[in-house]
């Protein structure tokens, strides 16, 4: 195969003007629909943010009570903590934990 026939096979074919205009009109309609879709999605995103803020503003933040625990151990007590409030005790009292 020589270079001339290779270039002829690879060159793009020409398209008549009416076909090109029909394709461009179709693309313009598609682009317009995509812009409308983007605007609708942006409005929906904004509306969901507003909805979340309105929903969250309905509740009052209440601080739970805080508890300060100090603990000291001598020779007969244990420092085990399982959960809940710990009131201390000796090793004999905490053996059943």
What confidence tens digit (pLDDT) does each residue in 16-32 have? 999 999 999 999 999 99
pLDDT at site 14: 83
Which has more pLDDT, 16 or 89? 16
Rg (CA), the chain: 38
Distance CA 90, CA 41 (A): 65
> What's the DSSP call for residue 86?
-
pLDDT at site 40: 98
pLDDT at site 90: 56
- Residue with the two structure tokens 């503003």: 57
Q: What is the pLDDT of residues 34-72, one digit of tens each?
A: 999 999 999 999 999 999 999 999 988 888 877 777 766
Distance CA 85, CA 73 (A): 17
List of residues 6+ apart from 77 with CB closer than 8 A: 88, 89, 90, 91
Average pLDDT in the 3-13 region? 70
Question: Hey, what are 71's tokens?
Answer: 């603990």
């Amino acid at each position: 195969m020589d270079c001339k026939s290779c270039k002829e096979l690879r060159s793009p074919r020409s398209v008549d003007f009416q076909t090109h205009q029909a394709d461009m009109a179709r693309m313009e309609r598609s682009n317009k629909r995509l812009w409308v879709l983007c605007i609708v999605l942006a409005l929906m995103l904004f509306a969901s943010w507003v909805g979340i803020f309105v929903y969250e503003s309905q509740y009052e933040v209440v601080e739970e009570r805080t508890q300060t625990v100090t603990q000291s151990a001598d020779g007969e007590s244990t420092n085990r903590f399982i959960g809940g409030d710990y009131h201390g005790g000796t090793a004999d009292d905490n053996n059943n934990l």
